[in-house]
Amino acid sequence: MIKELEKIVGKENILTEPDSLEPYSHDETSGFRVFPKAVVKPKTTQETSEIMKFANKELIPVTPRGGGSCLSGGAVPSPGSIVISFERMNQIREIDTENLMAIAEPGVIIAQLADEAKKYGLFYPPYPASLDTSTVGGNIAECAGGARAVKYGTTKNYVLGVEAVLPTGEIIKCGGKLVKNVTGYNLTDLLVGSEGTLAIITLAILKLLPMPKVKVDLLIPFEDIEKAGKFAQEILQHKMSPSTIEIMEREAIEASERYLKRKLKFSVGNKYACSLLIEIDGERKEEIEHEYNEIGDIALKNGALDVLVALTEREQERLWEVRNSISDALKSESEVEREDIVVPRSKMPEFLHEIKRVECKYGLKIVSYGHIGDGNVHINILREDTPEQEWKAKIPNIMKELFEVGLSLGGMISGEHGIGLSKKPYLEMALGKQQIELMRGIKRVFDPNNILNPEKIFPDNK
């Protein structure tokens, strides 16, 4: 097998030693680790195609991998598989200023794409917390959301076309530099969020927007998490359109402060239960000032303890550094089980209350943060000093109960992390058998030998 792969990518682009395979044996999901037989690093779509033709012929499982920042086990190798890593396919082919689009290879880091677009006065809105490590291909595979989804939507709103390699090795091109396109089934949208189970993205055409001229961030602490939820709901009811409404429980902020070794400048000490981080952007300074003053007034009427305004880029970067470090901070202090349930935005106050009820019921600390503005909260169940056996016994029950609560409120079990390995036992709760069978049928059409990222998404009961 190795000799055949060497013919395709060269010996120097294949890893087989255990030490070199270890970083590719897991993603950011706790509890899953499988060493692949090899890691292969193609440079082109054609090389990727040749790898898949060989793997399909020999029935070798293949796991595609971007930056490895997945939080559902989607990038964990299958037993006996090879990993295709796209770290060498990392070029931004074009920033098209006439059509406001970018063409990027799958290994391009999201932060690099955003920085390159900025040079042309353009803006790539999807903003995952892992933007410094996550890649274009991985974001498309998971349909990454991020903080700006309130105003700008998620990755699916920016993928206009792809070049992709099928599990059988054929190369297809879907979509293009087009604002409109209803020519046949929309296979581009089908591939977005398919978690690397249907095809491998090797090139993407992405929509860009003009860069907003003015941006302001607000940090608003509340002494009650449900009041914060009701305030976030009221902003949207007032027909305001902030780009971001993020919630951070105090425990999340304090963990991030310890991790970064610096504190946020709060005037309220530790009296707050949570804080909202709100970003407003637009074209005219006067309009932005009016909007953030109105939001501040609504916040104080809803019980906010203070309204802190970050006007300078440096102040804003320091706030977002705290927000974007929460996941790593919690992980550095405790084993963590992480979920990303999504509910209708109007149900978020009720859902936040239910999370606290479940926390009290099971006696494990649950720290929440995330995208309250689009109904998607990241739930972190901390092990801390709980004995391992007790922890492992409680986690499935907590997850199931939280999923049931989310579904009862009209939600779903994942907003942006995907199903992967960690949530597939619960998929039938959300979709039912008929939808799952339709999805299995689509998988069989694309991947008749079930070699591409097998064992992901679908429950093991069939």
Report pLDDT digits (tens) over 339-360. Answer: 999 999 999 999 999 999 999 9
CATH of the domain at 275: 3.30.70.2190
| Shared domain check, 103 and 193 | yes
420 contacts 457 by C-beta, under 8 angstroms: yes
What is the pTM assigned to this prediction?
A: 0.94
Domain membership of residue 389 as a residue range: 334-450
Structural domains counted in the chain: 4
Contacts 24+ apart (CB under 8 A), 285-290: 285/214, 288/214, 288/215, 288/216, 289/216
Three-state SS for 429-444 is HHHHHHHHHHHHHHHH
pLDDT band at 241 (very low <50, low <70, confident <90, very high): confident
Out of 178, 210, 242, a domain closes at 210
Residue 73 placed within a domain: yes
Look at residue 407 and tell me whether its pLDDT is greater than 60.
yes
The CATH number of the domain where 14 resides is what? Answer: 3.30.43.10
Q: Are 298 and 193 in a shared domain?
A: no
Among 272, 305, 327, identify where a domain stops: 327
Within a domain: residue 339? yes
The partner residues of 214 in beta bridges, in order of sequence, read: 282
Q: At what angle do helices 388-408 and 427-446 cross, to 10 degrees?
A: 90
Is position 456 within any domain? no
The two three-digit tokens of residue 19, written as one number: 């030490």
Same domain, 221 and 193: no
Which pLDDT score, from 0 to 100, does residue 129 have? 84
Spatial CA neighbour of 33 closest among 41, 21, 50: 21
Contact 458, 110 (CB under 8 A): no
Q: Look at residue 357 and tell me if it is in a domain.
A: yes
In a domain, 459, yes or no: no
Position 267 scores a pLDDT of 67
What confidence tens digit (pLDDT) does each residue in 137-167 have? 999 999 998 899 999 999 999 999 999 999 9
Q: What are the residues facing 278 on neighbouring strands?
A: 218, 245
Q: Within this chain, do residues 248 and 311 fall inside the same structural domain, yes or no? A: yes
Mean pLDDT, rounded, for 38-49: 98
What is the arithmetic mean of pLDDT over 166-189? 96
What CATH number should be reported for the domain holding residue 394?
A: 3.30.70.2740
Could you tell me if residue 49 is inside a domain? yes
User: Does residue 202 share a domain with residue 169?
Assistant: yes
> d(Cα 268, Cα 259) in Å, to the nearest integer?
21
Q: Work out whether the CA dihedral 334, 338, 344, 345 comes out positive or negative.
A: positive
pLDDT at 271: 85
The answer to whether 209 and 122 have CB atoms below 8 angstroms apart is yes
**Same domain (yes/no): 110, 218:** no
158/176 same-domain check: yes
Q: Residue 83: what pLDDT?
A: 98
Say how far apart CA 277 and CA 322 lie, in whole Å: 11
Q: What is the CATH number of the domain that holds 176?
A: 3.30.465.10
pLDDT of 462: 54
Query: Do 297 and 346 lie in a common domain?
Result: no
Asked if 221 and 320 sit in the same domain, the reply is: yes
The residue among 312, 327, 342 that closes a domain is: 327
Q: Is residue 460 part of a domain?
A: no
For residues 358 and 416, state if they share a domain.
yes
Residues 309 and 340 in one domain: no
Could you tell me if 230 and 148 lie in one domain?
A: no
- Decide if pLDDT at 201 tops 90: yes
- Residues 63-103: pLDDT tens digits? 999 999 999 999 999 999 999 999 999 999 999 999 999 99
Any domain includes 462? no
